[in-house]
Structure 1
Amino acid sequence: MAEHPAYPVGLRLTGRRVVVLGGGQVAQRRLPALVAAGADVLLVSPEATPSVEAMADAGEITWERRGYADGDLADAWYALIATSDPDANERASAEAERHRVWCVRSDDADRATAWTPATGRSEGVTVAVLTTDAKGRDPRHTAAVRDAVVEGLRDGTLVAPHHRTRTPGVALVGGGPGDPDLITVRGRRLLAEADVVIADRLGPRDLLAELPPHVEVIDAAKIPYGRFMAQEAINNALIEHARQGKSVVRLKGGDPYVFGRGMEELQALAEAGIPCTVVPGISSSISVPGAAGIPVTHRGVAHEFTVVSGHVAPDDERSLVDWPSLAKLTGTLVVLMGVDKIGRIAETLVAHGKSPDTPVALVQEGTTAAQRRVDATLATVAETVVAQEVRPPAVIVIGEVVGVGPHGAV
């Protein structure tokens, strides 16, 4: 048998008996996939790791707390032998051979009748990699091949577009704070499969250069007619392209629902009968402070953080923010879109009881190569923004956490 490669096959184990001998690390790694496959798993082992024991306690597997006994494999469809007893492994392997049960051995792959491939999954596809040369089996190499294929499918660098199951529609994708590596793997895959991409100015722009030549890229920042009409034009563009049978990605900065007007777009698509998928993104309200060495919460310093929009000044009648209440909070305040209003925001917070010495950090172009951090206090932040020429986009962090980490002391 060693002179021929293994024959790859997918086992359908739903409701079928699978016997696992041994409750150690090998079983801990293999059991979740067997449970996910719907197998009726019997574990035979005197002991088990805490994770394996938890699976038994949860009813995912049946555990008989004893050693292997002849006859354990009689009704099995598949067996995994992973005990530390060489004699028990040999006897169980011989029983599997007698009963024609496909058997994997963790201690001696050459004496097994089946091998476990290096597997990974991405959007309904299972990737399984086996070494074709039985004499030169290299588990690390097969795992590396598996990882490369799955990673490529997930992040879109290995493009394998759907054909039979692909349906037109729109995906609202949160692109994260700016660094292209911080988009989710699902978001990157959908971007790689898109026919049309309507992109925000604050989205991860570097990813657009990786799109195939046939993809139409529309810069949402250049759609005219002012803020309200621009959003209406974006909605219309999403609907128009989706109705043409195209796969459309609305690439947004941060998360679609954190000051991203994602719900407005979703509502417009729903009214037009266009299917829509929402892919959450990493919000700049947390990731940008973190990239600058600022935790929005820290034990003994801040047990809460509040995120507010600063695009409307506190004294503007359109403001929906309760600034007097925010001034009384002891936690962290994160302000987005507030660079040009930070002077009036600071004045309002101080007027309602916040200490003028409260630390403030402004993180401009967070997570990108152009990132910079400027520190101030509520008393000095207005003049600091002007003196240091801080420009949007910038995330503003207000609170004692600004002094935590490499840039300050607790």
Structure 2
Amino acid sequence: MNTRDIAQAAATRAAAPLLAKLGCLAAVLATVLLGVLGLVTMIATGASRAAMDGKSSSNCGIGLPDMPGLEGIPERVLGTQVDNAKIIDQVAASRGLPGKAVMIALMTGLQESNLQNLDHGDADSLGLFQQRPSQGWGTRAEIMHPPTSSGLFYGANKGRPPGLVDINGWYLMPLGQAAQKVQRSAHPELYDTRQMQAKAIADKAGIDLNRIGIAGGMTGATPGSGLPPVQCPDGPGAGGAPVRDVAAGWPAAVANPHTVADARAWAQREAAAPSQNWFRACLAFVARAHGWHYSGVETALLHWEEMPESMKHRGSRDIPPGALMYWETSSPAGHVALYMGGGMVASNDIRRPGRIDIVPAAEFDTSWRAKYLGWAPPYFPKGS
């Protein structure tokens, strides 16, 4: 990459750091000055877009605009960005991390290095994420190796600074805030300005930013769309009463992308697949079975609590196929499973961590000593 390419690639970064460093009053004056120079159009457009989106990352109310998309980026620079984005995504996928983790990593890489594997930076900062050997991130060779530096950013690396999955509740945070928790930048407001670019590069690289995963990775403790149920491994409990099938008769408000037949068929395919994507992700599983990418709620018990009272069938074991069955565990998260009919449910983790199995409903009472709460129709008013 020559000097001109670097300068052209860096041009898209120039406006946002200027606004952040000048401060609120100076930013307003700078905008007026840029208007005189004929450059205000780009910033005004971004600010207008941010306003329409309801975004404001500044404490003084003017906010920072999203950086422009991919227009004007030299082809060689863009090619490198796409290649590095694919590596960042591959590392996340290998760890079972959700698409949100990739989005945060792309925004961070764009802000720190323009998604280029730089051999220089502030002080001893290096690589895609401008990690510093002196701060314990790794050796120069490790940081300059994109797959390794991506793994360092995602975290769960013993003896290294905390990465993304080490941040408690990162998956509930706004994107820029999660990035800042890892990077600890002097200008945390700038990460959010990279959302548009990150989405455009992800699209070009064929990355699914809606991918479901496990927020703690394959060895982590928190799922991508909920908190882990404690599954009571301290001995068997009493068996539950028999479960009987009844007709559905869902309320009119229950409308899902998948029919009940589609949901059951999808769950059966997941049970037969080698996928291990569902470790401690019960609510994500039942939402996906009914056709949603995201349930809109963080835990199984919270989903139960937010269910309209008229839809809750407390303690009932007369259940229509396709319904959701809820259990209380010793964790605030609880557990939910998909009733398949014939007394059987589809659930994650009941027999194999991360896998789906179709088992008798009574197995939750015996294997996990969980307390059955009842069933409800597959109602996802916040689903997306």
Q: TM-score, normalised by structure 1?
A: 0.27
Decide which structure has the larger Cα Rg and report it: 1
More strand by share: 1
Q: TM-score, normalised by structure 2?
A: 0.29
Bigger RCO (CA 8 Å, 6+ sep): 2
More helix by share: 2
